[in-house]
Structures are given as structure tokens and as C-alpha cells.
Chains A and B, each alone.
Chain A
């Protein structure tokens, strides 16, 4: 059957082009791969090759014609035994590309919703993290984190820890102390200093059925590996239509330590929180470090676990339970209050709680919420609290533009606008690279005094 040769699309954006030159004439035989014409697109002049073999029966568009739409018939190809006389009856109409406007159907039906009623308080899970009467022990964040990892490694042979200095050195920050002795060199693996490479090997191992814990000595160095974290770990489940993904944990200290300068003092909470496919935990207390780490290791998705060097040595109550886990997406209300909601996570909680103590002395009752995980984020608990207090201050160490607080503010505006008695204030680190000088570094970080000042501003006191 004679087939029409159609004007090809030769780039992702081409809609029409110029048929610059025919390199074949009527009656010529062509075989697959032969160059038939030169076509000028918006970008370049391209050669156009034959796909099928046959004889050029008729050239329909003369060379030099401009503005030839993609999919216009430009020539007719005859198979063996056909003649040009067959042309009129041959060649079906060009097949159209699928309609590109199908996406319109996906437009949200929000405009059809009735006039907005007063929003109901969201349903939240406010069950305590451990049952009343549980024995508590004092543990540092460092110990709790190690216990969390070690318990999961005892439970599941496919879990292993890799990173710089995690084995023989016992961890650059002593997080993995004793783990090499217990689990051996097969499962506690010192890597060379090669973040991009070992992050990729970790993701590949997760594709291959293992459950890696990849430690970055700090998250500052994970910038070298961020392509593997986002493009390979976070997106593969989606790109594979659900066939395979990367169940694993990327962990390490994040944010400022002390006096280590700009390149070693950055908070990545807002960066990773933006990425669909990742889960992000940023705990404050030792019990959460343990409980969230165990949940992270069991989670079938890539989890970013943002720790804090300054918190490693702090002690908290940790429940003395055999298998203590904390679910993702459940905030913890550390302190109930009525006048203002202070929302934070990670080390920001130190400032939030200290501010709440001082504010209480001034008769201001602050409710303090620890988000614990940023993706999923328990915005329901924040909204519920703001509906009660009508005011909100967010606290974080990261930079102000595109901060976690910015996102929370936007959620509050959309879901509890009518409840707000003052604009939400985001207390953040200053919009500068971290300076080294002690006095300047102090100035660059968010402080308890700034949180207090923000609360006074939103409560008009």
C-alpha cells in the first residue's frame, strides 16, 4: 500500500518548518536510512531519513516551501509493484497526535464549591507518644540515635550503615559507637570521602533490595550528592510506575554547629522538604531521634533525617520500651497555651521552648508545637492550635527566603485566615552566609530574644 511521508517534527517544540531541499526525486528508490530531504526547523537544518523502503511516487510539497505544518503529507512512497496511478486511492489521512488539552479535565472543581463555610478544626492525632506509667530513662540524642539504628539492624539483616568514618573511627560524631563491633565490617562500612559516589551506590543498593543508611558526615557535604538523592532516590518510584524505588535513609548533622564558617553551617530543611518522593524528619528530642529513626529505616521510601550536632550531647527522657517508634506526620505539642502558637522543629525548638518559659513570666501563654517531620507535615495540628490562639510565630535556623516558616504561613492563610488576629511572623536565621567571628555568628543565628520579640509583636504586648 502506498504510504504518505509526513512532515516530521524534528525537535520537541517544532510545529512547522521549511522544506529546504529534496535529495530524492520522483521515481527514485529509497531504503531505510537514506536521506530524503533537508528540513529547516526553528533551530537548525536537519536531514530527514527514510524509514521504509520503496519508490518515491510523488512529491507533494515543493522544495523551498516555508511554513509546512508537522504531519502534512510531503510525498508518497510506493511499495514494490505499485505505480504512481495508485496514489489517489492510497494513503490514509495523517494520524493526528493525541489532543494536548486532555489536562484541562484535571482542573480542580474548586470554583464549584459553595461559599466557604467557617472551616472546621482539622482532626489530629494527639495521643501521647508513650503510655502513662512507662519507665523513662535519661539518654543523650547521640545514644538514642545509635540505639534506634542498632535495634533496626538486629531486626533486619538487609539494613546496613555506610559513610565516612562510621566504622573504625566509631563515627566522626560518635553516633555509630560500638556498631562495628556488633555488626561487623559487612554491615558497618567505612567509605572513602566520595559523597556523590557513595550516595549513588547506596541508592543502587536500595534498588537492589537492601535498606541502606547513608551517613553524611554533615549535610553540607550532601550537596555533592544531591543529584543522586533527588533525581535517583526520590523520583524513581514515580518514573518506574511504582515498580521500584529506594527504601533508605540519608542521615547526618544539619545546620550550624559552632564557629565552623559558611560552608559547614547550613540548614537544608526547606530544600529537602520541597521534594515529592522524599520524606523529611528533623527531630529535637532524644526520644524522637530514636523513634523516628526506627520509623525511617522501616519506611519504604527515601527518608532525609536531619540531625543537629549541638543536640547530640543533650539529654532527654526516653521511654524504656522494647520497640519504641514515632510515626511520621504527627507533631508533638510540648507545651499547651492560649495566647500564641510557636511552631518549630529540630534545634529551633530550643529557642521556642526557652522563649515560652520567659513569656510565661510575662503572663503570655504560648503553645509550642514541634513538627518533628517536615514531609509529611502535620499542618493540621498547627491549624487547630492557631484556631485557638489566633496568632503564630515560626522558628527555624535556615534562611528566610523560601523557608519552612513561609510554607506554614501560607497554609495558615489558606486554612485559618479568619482566625488570625495578627500576621504570622517567621523567625529565621539571617539572610547571610554564616560568618566565623563569634559575635557575628551569634548575630546570624535565630535567638530566643527574637522569638520573644516576635510573640510580643503578634500579641500586641
Chain B
């Protein structure tokens, strides 16, 4: 089945299109800035950038309702920005500062926001998949009508616990959208070299979980598929799989020399399929926005991102006694 694409003349308002443009641009500029701060030594350790994949989270967030949950892997900055977390808090966590979402104790891969129903930020490939099914389990138990978006990559799709989670999610009809962000490379190993089947979403078939492939560079197609998946979950029919075919422009992490693919391959994707350029072109050709309108958005984003970088540099390192806090809870945090 060819990946879902949006209609030639999509039924979408100027405001929606502008919002997607803005949200995707925020992620891109934020990630570029993060890369820059990494280069300056202000961000340490691992830093996995989301550049190229922006349409996935922006499209799916457009299909989510208030109270729905999301959980993902270590390539998580885009998800946090898309669900409305504060760029200052995210960037300050990247620099390991007190103002970060985890007070500097989590880092790039481990951030959470109870308020925005963002459950991390998980550094062990595929561990978030059963966790996401568990969040959906809690929602079903409480009968609150919520849906959980459980994101993982094409690499994680080869971990056994994914299929353990599929089995139980289908068995217990858990309201969980399994989102496979197929960026075609598991670190440096291409899908062809790591994965026996070309269509990962089809793996749900043996569990009775419906799924489909989606063009992940087309934010409108992602949103449309997300709406269908969410409706399925919310109606009590159990989980749904979306395999979103996307592409990561940058390396797996900052220290990736990218010898496993050609520069031309990346450039071609950027030139021909870029998700932000696609929306930009829709906005301009549909006369939904002028060059000046878009410049104003660019400027606004630049300001937000620069402010987040300033905040992340100026926020102090955590107090030394933070080493010893948050190891044990004294009371159960209330569910947001």
C-alpha cells in the first residue's frame, strides 16, 4: 500500500496551515540552535536532533485532544515542543540547568511534563512501547476516553517488547496509537539491512491491529491519518498502528559521521520533500499568506529560540543538594 498522502487541494484553513508552519519551524530552529549549543560545549553527552521529522509530531498533535498522552524515545525535543512544553524549559534541560524540565537531572533524553501529559523521553530503545501501552491501560481502567500516542522508530520496531506490547494492547483493546517514525535508519543501519519486511505497519496484522503507512513529510496526511487512528482508539476498538515514513537530516546523534548514506541522498530529500517547504509552498500558492507574513513568523520563532538559548545559558546549574533529591517520593504525585 502506498503511504497516505494529502489531497491535491486539501481542505484546510489558512490559520491551520500557518499554525503547522509555525510549529514545524519552531522545532527546526530549536534543534538547529541545540546543535549549535552542543558545538559550543553547552550541551553534553548525547543529543539526538529531530530535524526533517517535524511533520510527524505536528500532524499528530493536530489530531490529539486535551488530556491525551504521549510518550517517546530519546529523540524527543520535537514531541515536547509540539505538545506545548516551554522551549525555555526544554533547552535548559539540554544544558543541564536548574530551569530545565527535570531540574537538569534528566538531560536531552529524559524529560517529562505531567501538565502536558508528556511521559518522556526514554533512553532504552523500545522501552517506551510497553510503557505507552501501560498508560493506555490506565486510561481504559479509569474509563476516561483518553488516547496515548506511543512513538518509536524503525530501529525499535525490531525489539521483542514491541510485540509483547502489541499482543496485550490488542488482547485488552487498549486505546493506544503506536506511531512508528520510520526515518529509514536505525542509527547507521538502513531499514533494508535491519528489517525483514519493507512495511513495518503490516506487523500489526498478526495481532489483529489495523495500520497504515503515511507520508511523513506531508503534515496534512499525517494529521488525517492521526484523526482516523484516534477515532478508532477512542471508540473502544483497541490499538492502531501508523507507520510514518519520514527522514532524519542530521546524524543519529551529534557524533555521527554519516558514512552510511550519501550527502546527495540527504540533499535530495531536503530539496524535494522538506515538510516545512511543502507547507510554505501551500501557503504561498494558495494565497493564504504572503512572504511578509511568513517572514514575521520566522522572526517570531527566531526570537523564541534565541530566548530559550539565553535562558538555558543563564539558568544556574542545579544546587548541589539536588543530587540527593527525587530518589524516593514521599507521596504519590496527583495525576494531572
Contact = CB atoms under 8 A, between A and B. Distances in A.
Contact of A205 (B33, B40, B134, B320): B134
B190 interface: no
A129 B110 CA distance: 41
B112 interface: yes
Nearest to A233: B131
A51 B35 contact: yes
Contact of B40 (A8, A194, A204): A8
B332 A247 contact: yes
B141 A43 contact: no
Interface in A1-57: 6-12, 14, 32-33, 35, 41, 43-49, 51
Given A205-B135, A238-B327, A241-B326, A194 B112 contact: no
Interface in B170-209: 171
B212 to A, nearest CB: 24
Nearest to B327: A276
Contact of A194 (B42, B123, B167, B325): B167
Please indicate which of the listed interface residues A6, A201, A207 has the most CB atoms of chain B within 10 Å of its own CB. A201
A241 B328 CA distance: 11
A324 to B, nearest CB: 22
Contact of A210 (B114, B138, B250, B320): B138
Interface in A184-235: 186, 191-192, 194, 196-210, 227-228, 231-232
B130 A201 contact: yes
B48 to A, nearest CB: 12
Given A200-B129, A232-B127, A241-B102, A97 B41 contact: yes
B142 interface: yes
Contacts of A197: 130, 133, 161, 164-165, 167-168
Please indicate which of the listed interface residues B42, B45, B105, B257 has the most CB atoms of chain A within 10 Å of its own CB. B257
A45 B257 contact: yes
Interface string A261-281: 000000000000000110100
B101 interface: yes
B160 interface: yes
B106 interface: yes
Interface in B27-42: 32-33, 35-36, 38-42
Please indicate which of the listed interface residues B101, B251, B328 has the most CB atoms of chain A within 10 Å of its own CB. B328
Given A9-B38, A208-B335, A239 B161 contact: no
Nearest to B109: A239
A21 B46 CA distance: 25
A71 interface: yes
A105 interface: yes
B246 to A, nearest CB: 17
B145 interface: no
B112 A196 contact: no
B155 interface: no
Query: What's the interface size class on A, roughly?
Result: 35 or more
Contacts of A322: none
A197 to B, nearest CB: 3
B69 interface: yes
Nearest to B117: A208
A94 B39 CA distance: 12
B13 interface: no
A204 B132 contact: yes
B106 A239 contact: yes
Nearest to A189: B172
A242 B328 CA distance: 9
Contacts of B110: 239-240
Given A203-B134, A205-B135, A243-B113, A238 B105 contact: yes
Given A11-B255, A197-B168, A236 B327 contact: no
A321 interface: no
Interface in B307-335: 313, 317, 320, 323, 325-333, 335
A121 interface: no
Contact of A97 (B40, B130, B133, B323): B40
Given A12-B44, A33-B249, A197-B130, A301 B328 contact: yes
Contacts of B51: 33
Contacts of A301: 328-329
A202 B171 CA distance: 15
A18 to B, nearest CB: 14
Contacts of A70: 39-41
A210 B270 CA distance: 44
Contacts of A32: 32
Contacts of B258: 46-47
Contact of A208 (B134, B313, B332): B134
Contact of B137 (A201, A228, A279): A201
Contacts of B320: 102-103, 105-106
A244 B333 contact: yes
Nearest to B43: A9
Contacts of B317: 98, 102
The 8 closest A-B pairs by CB, nearest first: A204-B134, A200-B130, A197-B164, A8-B39, A208-B138, A11-B255, A44-B257, A97-B41
Given A9-B38, A207-B138, 13 more contacts: A14-B255, A51-B32, A51-B35, A98-B42, A192-B168, A196-B164, A197-B133, A228-B130, A236-B120, A241-B100, A243-B112, A244-B112, A245-B329
11 contacts: A6-B39, A47-B258, A70-B41, A198-B168, A201-B165, A202-B134, A208-B135, A210-B142, A241-B104, A241-B106, A241-B112
